[in-house]
Amino acid sequence: MTLDICVKVAVGAPDVLGDCPFSQRVLLTLEEKKLPYKIHLINVTDKPQWFLDISPEGKVPVMKLDGKWVADSDAIVGILEDKYPEPSLKTPPEFASVGSKIFGAFVTFLLSKDANDGSEKALVNELEAFDSYLKTHSGPFVGGEKPTAVDLSLAPKLYHLEIVLAHYKNWSVPESLTNLRNYANALFSRESFVKTKAEHKFVVAGWASKVNE
């Protein structure tokens, strides 16, 4: 049985997978669980009516599960884990929120127009905390030897962080954070990630309207 999923289309390329980290998170889950799926590409700047009918908030990802369209990557990933428990991608609850503040800190720093507002330091603090978590726990992933849901959520966000901050701020993750860099590279080189990632130029294009607001 093939699962239907609506994800973001690339900016300026109507047939190409776009840059939504929440969509990629679900695609990673499907790939890691080896579930067959069919992608429907949605232009989120010009949403078709049929999409608004199934996703009243107008957000991707949306996935059809048991005949019902379900929105929100948290909800979708939770249902997929319950319905298709093997291989398990359950994150041990005590590790579920590791790294969860990185994305917000990244977006705040990216959109900041004031170099002295502390947003760079706040991001570095989050990245350092994550690096030191990795250093003091057995890895290479947050929950140990195998990737779990928390890694599949973090990987697309770290990918965006790396590309977008380099492009718009000429900024990169401090070289001293070797645990974080190795972690990101381990995830980025997985087959599931390579298959579901947006191209570099589409990640840059996807953030342009926010950065230039």
Under rule CB under 6 A, residue 61 binds ligand GSH: yes
Query: What phi, psi does 188 have (nearest 5°)?
Result: -65, -25
Burial profile 5-44: b = 16 or more Cβ within 10 angstroms, e = fewer: bbbbbbbeeeeebbbbbbbbbbbbbbbbbeeebebbbbeb
Provide the mask over 63-102, with x wherever binding to ligand GSH is found by CB under 6 A and - wherever it is not: ---------xxx----------------------------
Q: Rounded distance, CA 101 to CA 95, Å?
A: 13
Nearest distance from C-beta of residue 93 to ligand GSH, angstroms:
19
Q: Which two tokens stand for residue 115?
A: 């170099």
Range list of β-strands (E), 46-178: 62-65, 68-71
Under rule CB under 6 A, residue 109 binds ligand GSH: no
Please tell me whether residue 5 adopts helix, strand or coil conformation.
Answer: strand
Instruction: Report the residue closest to ligand GSH, judged by CB.
Output: 20
Active site residue 20: yes
Q: Which residue is catalytic, options 10, 20, 198, 204? A: 20
Nearest distance from C-beta of residue 191 to ligand GSH, angstroms:
23
Under rule CB under 6 A, residue 156 binds ligand GSH: no
Q: Is residue 24 a contact partner of residue 18, using CB atoms and an 8 Å limit?
A: no
Q: Which two tokens stand for residue 206?
A: 């996807």
CB closer to ligand GSH out of 15 and 46: 46
Nearest distance from C-beta of residue 135 to ligand GSH, angstroms:
29
Query: What phi, psi does 103 have (nearest 5°)?
Result: -65, -45
Range list of β-strands (E), the chain: 3-10, 13-17, 37-42, 62-65, 68-71
- 25 to 54, contacts with ligand GSH by CB under 6 A? 44
Under rule CB under 6 A, residue 20 binds ligand GSH: yes
CB closer to ligand GSH out of 104 and 144: 104
The residues that touch ligand GSH, with contacts defined as CB under 6 A, are 8, 20, 22, 44, 58-61, 72-74
Catalytic residues: 20
